[in-house]
Amino acid sequence: MPIIVRIDVELAKRKMSVGEFAERVGLTPANVAVLKNGRAKAVRFSTLEAMCRVLDCQPGDLLEWVDEVDEHGAPVPVDPGADGHR
């Protein structure tokens, strides 16, 4: 049940570099990389708020819950009838 971080998508839409994003949010580029690569274990609401403010987006634009990921970290589509509850 991983959370996929979509910062790279939002940065690409705005043609914003990681360095500019990091500076405007108040993070180091290394910490942005940790978030982008899905290695972060937590994110503060204040950081999420700053990211949303800088990117003019909603938290759901940056974070996505998926049921499973494959060996490459790509989301595995959920079969809506697999467990009888969807």
pLDDT the model gives residue 80:
58
To which H or E segment does residue 60 belong? helix 59-62
What string of DSSP letters covers 21-37? HHHHHT--HHHHHHHHT
Q: What is the pLDDT of residues 18-46, one digit of tens each?
A: 999 999 999 999 999 999 988 999 999 99
Could you give the CA distance from residue 44 to residue 63 in angstroms, rounded to a whole number? 13
pTM: 0.77
10-19 burial by CB neighbour count: b if 16+ within 10 A, else e? bbeeeeeebe
